[in-house]
Amino acid sequence: MLVHQIYTFSPLRNFSYLIERKDKKAVCIDPFDAKQLISFAKAKGLEIDLIINTHEHFDHICGNAGIVEYYGAKVMAHSNAKGKIPGVDSFLKLGDEVEVLDGKLKVMDTPGHTFAHLCLKYVYKNKTNAVFSGDTLFSAGVGNCHRGGEASTLYKTVSEQFMTLDDEVILYPGHDYIENNLGFTLDREPSNTCACELLKEARSSDTTKMRTTMKMERKINTFLRLNSEEIVTGLSGDVSSEEQVFIRLRELRNNW
């Protein structure tokens, strides 16, 4: 799989992705800055012929128009994005596939951050190697739910579709929020030495690249650690189910 992760230097610390296809074509996931992406593609000898938006928020679609204008690229998005994303050529549903070099991208239906949110599995020889997770799962966090989403739905998506991924699956998120997210992890779970080490590393290293795995996320992502005694005992209110723990954590993260 040839994945180019492109840090946009946007205030929201967005990542866009280019994934190579046959004949030097490429699919762009969540184009933010069309100019930046076009010059990147040119430098690699690639032509962006396809765009996939993980969801309808402006910072995930604002590069669409420039790329469509320059390359005539086709735009794909979740079927619930009808009327929310301009100029979509085809709407995607669970299980739809897009061919890329050495494999395919397979659509996951992942509501919660919004109800028009999809993620993409990179599948090679029937094995999931990576997931492009948009604003559903970040390194050390999950997306917020106050711009068209719902926390209980996000819990269902994360628990059923992400907690079940193999350890070695690589996660490519839509933003770099790692420093703030690890701060929240340590606020909830001060004894998490792995998060502590990673925070030191994140503060001192190149923030324009992010590559994490589900194995790492299971250690540092509070929203995947819903059975941690330290996390659960630190919460007020009724948190007798995993879902209640998740929702309470999401509420706390909103104001953290």
Q: Which residues bind Fe ion (CB under 5 A)?
A: 57, 135
Question: Distance between CA 120 and CA 138 in Å, rounded?
Answer: 14
Q: Please, which residue, 30 or 189, has the CB nearer to Fe ion?
A: 30
Q: What are phi and psi of 136, to 5 degrees?
A: -90, -60
For 178, 183, 231, the CA distances from 245, given in Å and listed in that order, are 21, 18, 9
Report the nearest approach of Fe ion to the CB of residue 251 (Å).
Answer: 18
| Helix/strand/coil percentages in the chain, nearest 5 | 35, 25, 40
Q: Give least dist CB 70 to Fe ion, A.
A: 25
CB of 127 to Fe ion, least distance (A): 29
Q: How far apart are CA 105 and CA 11, in angstroms?
A: 28
Q: With respect to Fe ion, which residue has the nearer C-beta, 57 or 225?
A: 57
Q: Kindly tell me which of 33 and 135 has the beta carbon lying closer to Fe ion.
A: 135
Strand spans (E) along 9-81? 15-20, 25-29, 47-52, 74-78
Beta-strand pair 47-52/127-134: unpaired
Tokens of 216: 């790492």
Nearest to Fe ion of 21, 55 (CB atom)? 55
HSE, side-chain direction, 13 A CA sphere, residue 249: 33
Min dist. Cβ of residue 54 to Fe ion (A):
8
Q: Which is nearer to Fe ion, 46 or 151 (CB)?
A: 151
CB of 77 to Fe ion, least distance (A): 13
Which CB atom, from 25 or from 57, has the smaller least distance to Fe ion? 57
DSSP track, 217-238: HHHH-GGG-TT-HHHHHT--S-
Output the CA–CA distances (angstroms, integers) from residue 148 to 17, 54, 113, 154, in the order listed: 24, 14, 7, 12
Cβ closer to Fe ion: 57 or 78?
Answer: 57
Q: Least CB distance from residue 244 to Fe ion, whole Å?
A: 24
Give me the least distance between CB of 58 and Fe ion, in Å please: 9
Closest residue (Cβ) to Fe ion?
Answer: 57
